[in-house]
Amino acid sequence: GAKTGYVMSHKLYGPKNADVDFAPLFLQIGYTLTDVHDSFPVRGSLELIFEPTFMLVTKPSDTFGKGASLLLRYNFVTGTRWMPFFELGIGLLHWNMRVEDVLGSEFNFTILGGPGVNYFVTDNWAVTGQLGLWHASNAGRKEPNQGINSIMYLLGFAYYF
C-alpha cells in the first residue's frame, strides 16, 4: 500500500519548536504474522510492515528526505468493511538539511505510530486514513539533539492478498 498526507511539527518538550513541515510518501509491504484470533472487540491479527519513506520538506526550506521503517500493526478485525488498526515502528532517515538549535545531523532515527482505519471498497482494496505521531532524533550522536516531534495526517490505499 501507500500513504501520503502532511506532517507538521509541534513543541512537545524542550525550549524550541523545530518548525519542520513535510509531505511524506510511505510505501508499505506487510506480512501477517498471526492468524485472526479471539473475539471482537480485540479480535485481530498482527502484521509486520517494511516502509520505505520519501519526503518533500516544505518548511523551513524546500528539500527532501528518504529512509525506511519497520512497523508492527495490530489489525482489529470487525467482520465489516471497516478494519481499525494501531501501528508502531522505528526507522532510519536521511535528509539534506540541519535544523538550527534543534537537530544537528542529516542522518537520524525515527519513531512513529498511531491509530488508523482501513475501509475495504472490495475484498482486496482498502482506502486508509491515519492520524499519528512522528519523532526524529540523532540519538545524541551530534549536538543539538532536541528532536523533531510531529503530527501526521495521512490518507492512502492498500491491497491485501
How confident is the model over 38-51, as pLDDT tens digits?
Answer: 776 689 999 999 99
pLDDT band at 116 (very low <50, low <70, confident <90, very high): very high
pTM: 0.92
Does the structure show a pLDDT above 80 at 74?
yes
pLDDT of residue 19: 85
Average pLDDT of the segment spanning 88-117: 91
Least confident of 46-50, 127-131, 141-145: 141-145
**Cα-atom radius of gyration of the chain, to the nearest Å?**
17
Torsion angle, CA of 98/104/108/113, rounded to 10 degrees?
Answer: -80
14 pLDDT more than 80: no
Mean pLDDT computed over every residue of the chain: 92
Nearest to 24 by CA among 159, 126, 150: 150
3-state secondary structure of 69: strand
Taken in order 87, 3, 31, 136, is the CA torsion positive or negative? negative
Q: Which of 9, 36, 30, 1 is nearest to 126 (CA)?
A: 1
| Ramachandran assignment for 79, one of left (phi > 0), alpha (psi -120 to 50 degrees), beta (any other) | left
pLDDT of residue 13: 67
Judging by beta carbons within 10 Å of its beta carbon (0-12, 13-18, 19+), is residue 27 exposed, middle or buried? middle
Condensed to tens digits (0 to 9), the pLDDT of residues 51-61 reads 999 999 998 88
Average pLDDT over residues 146-151: 90
Cα(27)–Cα(78) distance, integer angstroms = 25
pLDDT for position 80: 96
- Look at residue 42 in the predicted model and tell me its pLDDT: 84
The answer to whether residue 31 scores a pLDDT higher than 80 is yes
